[in-house]
Amino acid sequence: MFDLDNLVRPNVRRLTPYSCARDDFHGKAEIFLDANENPFGTLNRYPDPYQRELKAEISRLKGVPVENIFLGNGSDEIIDLCFRIFCNPGADKALTLKPSYGMYEVSASVNDVQIIKIPLSETFGVNFDDIKPHFRDKNLKIILLCSPNNPTGNCIDRTVIESILNEFNGIVMLDEAYIDFSDQPSMKDDIDRYPNLIVMQTFSKAFGLASVRVGMAFTNPEIIRYLNKMKPPYNISTLNQKTVLKKLKKQGEYLTQVMKIKKERTRLSGEIAKLSCVVEVFPSDANFILVRMKDADLIYDYLVNKGIIVRNRSNVINNCLRITVGTKIENNRLLRALKSMEK
Ligand SMILES: Cc1ncc(COP(=O)(O)O)c(C=O)c1O
């Protein structure tokens, strides 16, 4: 049985979180002399620690109640917070797939959490029977899934995700950083059905706000309470909250950009597949394409010399480059450079 309080590290259960000045006071006031702020200026006040205005807008956009939303300084902060809430350093474990987003392993290492990596199949699928035996491990606290997966670009089969959610009594973090580029539905609407599910999304990709550092977690209010307990009080600056709010008012811009990126993804995949230096272009549900080359290192260096930087993933998938879909002009420059290499 899933027992949240039992999963949480004892010191976190006992923790009395930092109480900031604005937590002590509720209501309307005219003069704030409670937080040792400088009384002069326009950026002199601490941010809203719970980002209420922003969460109300996100709630409207995503159709998820405010009490089910947590915001982090990027998804990366949410990943780190979960390791610190659920995993005892030097004892507990997390499980992820291989290859997947590199931060899972780095964040686990930072927190002295052992990571178990289950290889994806040749076609980047997930075999539930490879994961299931690990459910018996009492020290396995978190399973991290990425769908669409970075760097393979494909979505994980929903029935596999549901089997994991049903049979694993720990936390399942589902990273949907690239979901806006996919036709697969998000699982954010399933958080009521699965008390162990944390769905993560981000403003860094489809919303074009990577420099702003705002990531979202959708989960049940009990998990949100622990995330709020653990986070630094002012983890999202006022400037960043306002920037996201402004972006949310421009829904049309977001939709147009996602549409353009998806269209370019199709075109770029088709054109790259015609090149003789290419072995295979993998189908993508994300804003990048994974391409198997005859000699990825050679092509990577060649593109660097042309001032074009792609991601060489050869160390994790044999002879593969991960290419982000750029603007039409950028993609054409890439294609010209690759074609000129063939001459
Ligand atoms: C799968 C995945 N999750 C999360 C992130 C980072 O998200 P954020 O910018 O919100 O920290 C990335 C960035 O590349 C990613 O590939």
At 243, is the pLDDT very low, low, confident or very high (cuts 50, 70, 90)? very high
Residues 124 and 235 in one domain: yes
Question: Six-digit token pair at 174?
Answer: 């589902």
Closest ligand 1 atom to residue 77 Cα is 11
Distance from the CA of 162 to the center of ligand 1, in angstroms?
23
Residues 122 and 241 in one domain: yes
Domain end, chosen from 249, 271, 296, is at: 249
* Better pLDDT: 1 or 162: 162
Residues 130 and 38 in one domain: yes
Distance from the CA of 177 to the center of ligand 1, in angstroms?
6
Q: What is the pLDDT of residue 205?
A: 98
Domain count, the chain: 2
94: closest CA among 163, 197, 170, 152? 170
Measuring from each residue's beta carbon to the nearest atom of ligand 1, which residues come in under 6 Å?
A: 74-76, 101, 146, 150, 175, 177, 202, 204, 210, 215
Q: What is the CATH number of the domain that holds 330?
A: 3.90.1150.10
Q: What is the pLDDT of residue 341?
A: 86
Residue range 18-26: mean pLDDT, rounded: 81
What global pTM score does this model have? 0.97
Tell me, what DSSP letter sits at residue 274?
T
Residues 9 and 134 in one domain: yes
Residue 22, pLDDT > 80, answer no
Main-chain phi, psi angles of 27, to 5 degrees: 125, -160
Domain end, chosen from 249, 279, 305, is at: 249
Question: Six-digit token pair at 108?
Answer: 């686990």
Q: What is the pLDDT of residue 25?
A: 79
Residue range 110-127: mean pLDDT, rounded: 97
Distance from the CA of 286 to the center of ligand 1, in angstroms?
12
Q: Please give the Cα distance from 265 to 324 (Å, whole number).
A: 9
> What would the DSSP string read from start to end of 212-245?
T--EEEE--HHHHHHHHHHS-TT-S-HHHHHHHH
Q: What is the pLDDT of residue 26?
A: 80
Residues 241 and 151 in one domain: yes
Condensed to tens digits (0 to 9), the pLDDT of residues 254-304 reads 999 999 999 999 999 999 999 999 999 999 999 999 999 999 999 999 999
At 139, is the pLDDT very low, low, confident or very high (cuts 50, 70, 90)? very high
Distance from the CA of 76 to the center of ligand 1, in angstroms?
7
Q: Which residue do the tokens 């986070």 mark?
A: 231
Residues 262 and 335 in one domain: yes
Q: What is the CATH number of the domain that holds 111?
A: 3.40.640.10
Distance from the CA of 50 to the center of ligand 1, in angstroms?
22
Residues 181 and 311 in one domain: no
288: containing domain: 252-342
Residues 110 and 129 in one domain: yes
Say if CB 287 and CB 178 are below 8 A apart.
yes
Domain end, chosen from 249, 277, 311, is at: 249
At 208, is the pLDDT very low, low, confident or very high (cuts 50, 70, 90)? very high
Residues 217 and 330 in one domain: no
Residues 188 and 287 in one domain: no
Q: Residue whose CA is closest, atom 3 of ligand 1?
A: 177
Residues 128 and 47 in one domain: yes
Closest ligand 1 atom to residue 178 Cα is 1
Largest CA distance in the chain: 72
Residues 221 and 320 in one domain: no
Condensed to tens digits (0 to 9), the pLDDT of residues 52-104 reads 999 999 999 999 999 999 999 999 999 999 999 999 999 999 999 999 999 99
Closest ligand 1 atom to residue 214 Cα is 10
At 20, is the pLDDT very low, low, confident or very high (cuts 50, 70, 90)? confident
Residue range 99-113: mean pLDDT, rounded: 98
Condensed to tens digits (0 to 9), the pLDDT of residues 186-204 reads 999 999 999 999 999 999 9
Say if CB 190 and CB 242 are below 8 A apart.
no
Residue range 320-324: mean pLDDT, rounded: 98
Distance from the CA of 204 to the center of ligand 1, in angstroms?
7
